[in-house]
Amino acid sequence: MMPEVIGLFYGSDTGTTEYVTELIVKKLKQTVQISVYDIGEYGLSELDNYEFLLLGLSTWFDGDLQSNWEGLFDTFKRIKFSGKKVAIYGVGDQIEYGEFFVDGIGILGKIVVENGGEIIGAWSTKGYDFETSEAEFLPGWFMGLAIDEDNQGGIQSSVSSYG
């Protein structure tokens, strides 16, 4: 079933997640209605209005959340996700930060699951070269789409096969 409206919430420090978000939104807008919130500007207060959610973030400083997500994490931990379907995409660097590759996906995803939500859009780890990741919830599977713009081009092809 296609969702009627998706709420997309993202945070970005140097603009990579923002760029990736623009590509995802451009693609999804062809088939669904999507409302986009930069959480640095809008926070998370609108999140509860959506049954279908996309969450986007980068990972920083050896496995930490992107700064806006970090600042709102206590709020995020209190959100009830029951009845919500949630897909997460994360931007990171598997070469420089291979021990913490896209950890942010896993940090958010764990809370979504603990608070009753359903994660959709698991992504194979095939084709990535990293050591460990909080996002790898089952061997060989990330909890969401992992994007490494720092080392791998071809984001357009990842986005077009997402979902």
Ligand X SMILES: Cc1cc2nc3c(=O)[nH]c(=O)nc-3n(C[C@H](O)[C@H](O)[C@H](O)COP(=O)(O)O)c2cc1C
Binding positions for ligand X, rule: CB under 6 A: 12-17, 58-63, 66, 91-93, 97, 100-103, 149-150
CB of 67 to ligand X, least distance (A): 8
Residue closer to ligand X, measured from CB, 58 or 158: 58
Residue closer to ligand X, measured from CB, 32 or 95: 95
| Environment class of 136 (CB within 10 Å of its CB; exposed 0-12, middle 13-18, buried 19+) | buried
CB of 145 to ligand X, least distance (A): 13
CB of 82 to ligand X, least distance (A): 29
SS percent in the chain: helix, strand, coil, step 5: 30, 25, 45
Residue closer to ligand X, measured from CB, 37 or 60: 60
Residue closer to ligand X, measured from CB, 16 or 158: 16
Sign of the C-alpha dihedral, residues 73, 64, 43, 87?
A: negative
Task: Please tell me the distance from the alpha carbon of residue 146 to that of residue 1, in angstroms, as a whole number.
Answer: 24
CB of 15 to ligand X, least distance (A): 5
**DSSP, res 14:** S
